[in-house]
Structure 1
Amino acid sequence: MTRTAVVDASTALARFDRYLRHQRGLSENTVRAYHGDVAHLVAFVAGPDGDADTVLPKVTLTDLRAWLADMSTSGLSRTTMARRGAAARTFYAWAVKVGIAQANPAARLASARPARTLPVVVSEADVVSMLELARTRCDDGDLLHLRDWAVAELLYATGMRVGELAGANIGDLDFDERLIRVRGKGNKERMVPFGVPAATAVKSWLENGRPALVAPHTDDALMLGRRGKRADQRQLRDAIHHLCREAEIPDVAPHALRHSIATHLLTEGTDLRSVQEVLGHSSLNTTQRYTHVSTKRLRAAYALAHPRA
């Protein structure tokens, strides 16, 4: 019989975090989410008066099912429940390998499937309105308006995630080829093209806006805040929300621009695998959902190919 190492919950979770981060190469957001999910499981199984440090090796399939059943009545989304089930399966598969648990109670755990919702897409006309507003308001002397113009143009041009843009450096840009190196989930890198409008906006920011904000603590960050520090995701999201309101278009999160470029590319005839490369999806199934949003390409192909169209 395999001996189980006696490890308290906090130590086990710290080791699990390192495994996810360094061996699985998962993003910090995913590491934090999985950590919180397993911690939530510990608290549920231990109860208010139990010893949380002794729970993890003793969890059973019945405990896991009760945990998920309890969440199903608490108003959590199916997406969150599916992620928590995945976190439990990932944790116990790892825990058995490293000797923290003797058996994997999550091996036969079935969890909710994520909700299949259609992505929010901004129309091409609304995107143009927002980008034009971003450009014209740069005349007011506010240096951050130059940054926000560059942010909006780059997000729409490349389809990158807002966190990827926040982590981008000046050295990631190649203006000769109009490419930007993007570090995505799992620290995977991809090169994504951008067009002339985005290049114009970024050059204007780098030449006329960013230099005035540079401070002794400033690093190579592409996007800066008003005090010269790397702009964080919240600041970039706020910039897009402000632009939407000022342009009087539906207020959307930056991720909607990512959905939009995918849909607009497919609508104009770009093949699915090219869109997959632009967005950095590891699975084509993830990109596939954008084919349900726009039917223009499907109708065109049908009209050309079907003998009785």
Structure 2
Amino acid sequence: MDTTDMARTLKRRSVRIGPGCQAVRLPTGWWHLRWYDPARTPTQKQHALDTDDEAIALSRSRERFDRQLAGLYDPWRGSGRAVSAEEAVRVYEADHADRHRPKSIRVAAASVRALARSVRPGPEGRWDPAVADSGCDPSDIGIREITSDHVRRFVYRPDLSRASQLSYWRRFRAWFGWAADRQLVDANPVDDVPRPSAVRAGMKHLSRPEIERLLVAIEHHHGPDGPVPPHVRSRDRYPLWARDAFDLYASTGLRRGEGIALRWRDVVYPEDSAWGVGYIRVEDEGRVNGRRTKTGRSRRVTMIPRAEALLRRLEAETRRTSDPDEHILKGADGIRVVSEHTLSHNFRRYRQLAKLPDVPLHGLRHSFAVELLLRGASLIQVRDELGHATVQTTERYLELLPAERARATAALFAGELGT
């Protein structure tokens, strides 16, 4: 569950900052500063504090309250004039011209204009595409006219996929947060709109036979007349680096960044282990580009025989120095550390060459987990090998087992009945 999902479970909380001023945490988790003065019109003003951290929110609130007491800040400034949606969009475009990509600005502006056109309801207040696309000018719609009901009706349109609904919700939340800061609206209407649930990505993976097909395809690609020798150097180049890298990921279940950061000092062979079992240290330090492990924890990945054989071969064939800090995975020149982009790009390229399903590089990690479960490993064991924070994350792999077992059973009878 991400931080936004967690925020939805929070209760509304308010902290008094001073007379007529309080900091309010909405159910979404985001903090706003609310002002009240019965002598002003409107009697209430609310501004986004752009944070879900209570300490930061209270600090910003006290700073604004002190400025208001000193006469340096007026929460109601500029609220007397109604601003149309079109005017607000143009102000947004000017404000963000130097801070965002032109395409991002165009998409946000087009979304708000479409929302403004949808304010005129259809029969019985339902979303009506005919009305929304009838050419209603956003300059005729005041930005303050747009309420949470309008946003909810637009976001939860039946013709939108869940992914599109979530994209619109995020876009409107950011845009109206800016509008609240600019005092173009009194409050962010998206705060009262439930966040659409994200589409859960499938746990894509490759079976062991498919992984072997991938590795063989890489070998054939670099040998015009068939598989090339296990390791070939030509002008200090390392043509089979991708084969060895993908084999390592499939044999260890490492994340992409963890594999890139792997050094020879992290490898402990069975003869050097007090347990008699080899392992790979995945430390919570020394990551490439300052990266750390995803869960912030160090762990030891058991060195299965396939991984041990691969690492011993790589040490004999590709290790250039005795420096324990030398990286294990290298690029085509056999010297430089391979990048994340290069890994993912080449995995996609060779996967297509091998005519395999559309599975990302991270799918090799899923493949390793499924293989462990098929061989009888417990969820606790798999959790520890993969470095999951909770066993609930590991339980997701159970949904892959029925299909994997069915494929394995079908393979036993593949020679019968002409299959």
Q: TM-score range by the shorter chain?
A: 0.5 to 0.7
Task: Specify which of 188, 193, 196 is matched with residue 305 of structure 2.
Answer: 196
Matched, 1:119 2:220: no
* Structure 1 partner of 2:259: 165
1:150 is aligned to: 244
Contact persistence 2:331–2:337 (CA under 8 A): yes
Q: 1:268·1:297 contact (CA, 8 Å) conserved in 2?
A: no
The answer to whether the aligner puts 1:45 opposite 2:108 as a matched pair is: no
Relative to 1, partners in 2 of residues 1:148 and 1:38: Cα closer, same or farther, differing over 3 Å?
same
Taking a change above 3 Å as real, the CA distance of residues 186 and 295 of structure 1, as seen in their structure-2 partners, is closer
Equivalent of residue 279 in structure 1, options 375, 386, 405: 386
Kindly provide the CA deviation profile for residues 93-116 of structure 1, in whole angstroms up to 9, marking residues without a partner as x.
x99xx9999756444322433334
Distance apart, 1:117 and its partner CA:
5.6
Confirm or deny: 8 A CA contact 2:156 2:165 kept in the other structure.
no
Q: Which amino acid aligns with 2:197?
A: R
1:68 is aligned with what amino acid?
Answer: V
Partner Cα distance (1:80, 1:205) in 2: 45
Change (3 A) 1:87 1:265: farther
Kept in 2, the 8 Å contact 1:134–1:243? The answer is: yes
In structure 2, the residue matched to 1:108 is 192
Amino acid at match of 1:223: L
User: What TM-score comes out, normalization by structure 2 length?
Assistant: 0.46
1:139 CA displacement: 3.4
- Partner Cα distance (2:254, 2:264) in 1: 17
Q: Deviations over 1:151-199 (max 9, x none)?
A: 1122112223334434x14267233442141666756244241323324
Distance 1:197 1:58, change over 3 A: farther
The yes-or-no answer on 1:139 pairing with 2:231 is yes
CA distance in 2, matches of 1:238, 1:106: 38
Unaligned runs of 5+ residues in structure 1 are 14-35, 213-218, 300-309
- Unaligned stretches of 5+ in structure 2? 1-34, 36-44, 51-90, 97-102, 117-136, 220-226, 270-277, 284-290, 407-419
* 1:37 shift after superposition: 8.7
Secondary structure of the residue aligned to 1:144 is coil
Amino acid at match of 2:280: L
Kept in 1: contact 2:299–2:387 (CA 8 A): no
Provide the rounded CA distance (Å) in 2 between the counterparts of 1:241 and 1:277: 28
Alpha-carbon spacing, 1:161–1:67, altered in 2? closer, same or farther (3 Å): farther
1:263 matched residue in structure 2: 370
Change in Cα spacing, 1:79 to 1:210, as seen in structure 2 (3 Å) is farther
Question: Deviation digits for residues 252-294 of structure 1, max 9, x if unmatched?
Answer: 4322222222222222222223333433444544433321221
- Rounded to whole Å, the distance in 2 between the matches of 1:40 and 1:63 is 19
Match in the other structure for 1:235: 342
> Based on CA coordinates, which of the two structures has the bigger radius of gyration?
2
CA drift of 1:127 comes to 2.3
- The 8 Å contact of residues 205 and 363 in structure 2, kept in 1 or not, is answered as yes
Contact 2:370 2:397 in 1 (8 A): yes
Question: How far, CA to CA, are the matches of 1:173 and 1:229 in structure 2?
Answer: 18
- Do 2:241 and 2:332's aligned partners in 1 also have CA atoms closer than 8 Å? no
8 Å Cα contact 1:122-1:257 kept in structure 2: yes
1:174 aligns with 2:267: yes
TM-score, with normalisation over the residues of structure 1? 0.58
CA distance in 1, matches of 2:265, 2:336: 18
Answer yes or no: is 1:65 the counterpart of 2:159.
Answer: no
Larger relative contact order, structure 1 or 2 (CA cutoff 8 Å, min sep 6) = 1
Q: Secondary structure at the match of 1:293?
A: helix
Once the two structures are superposed, residues 139-160 of structure 1 have per-residue CA deviations (whole angstroms, 9 ceiling, x without a partner) of 3436434422331122112223
Instruction: Quickly say closer, same or farther: Cα 1:102–1:220, change in 2 above 3 A.
Output: farther
Identity within the alignment, %: 20
2: CA distance between counterparts of 1:221 and 1:84?
Answer: 43
Alpha-carbon spacing, 1:6–1:238, altered in 2? closer, same or farther (3 Å): closer
* Deviation of 1:236 (Å): 1.2
Q: Is the 8 A contact 1:144 1:225 kept in 2?
A: yes
1: distance between equivalents of 2:282 and 2:92? 39
User: Could you tell me which residue of structure 2 aligns to residue 24 of structure 1?
Assistant: none
CA RMSD of aligned residues (A): 5.3
- Give the structure with the larger helix fraction: 1
Query: For this pair of structures, how many residues does the alignment match?
Result: 265
In structure 2, which of residues 331, 345, 354 is the aligned counterpart of residue 225 of structure 1? 331
Structure 2 CA distance, aligned partners of 1:38 and 1:282?
A: 37
User: Any conservation in 2 of the 1:118–1:293 contact (CA below 8 Å)?
Assistant: no
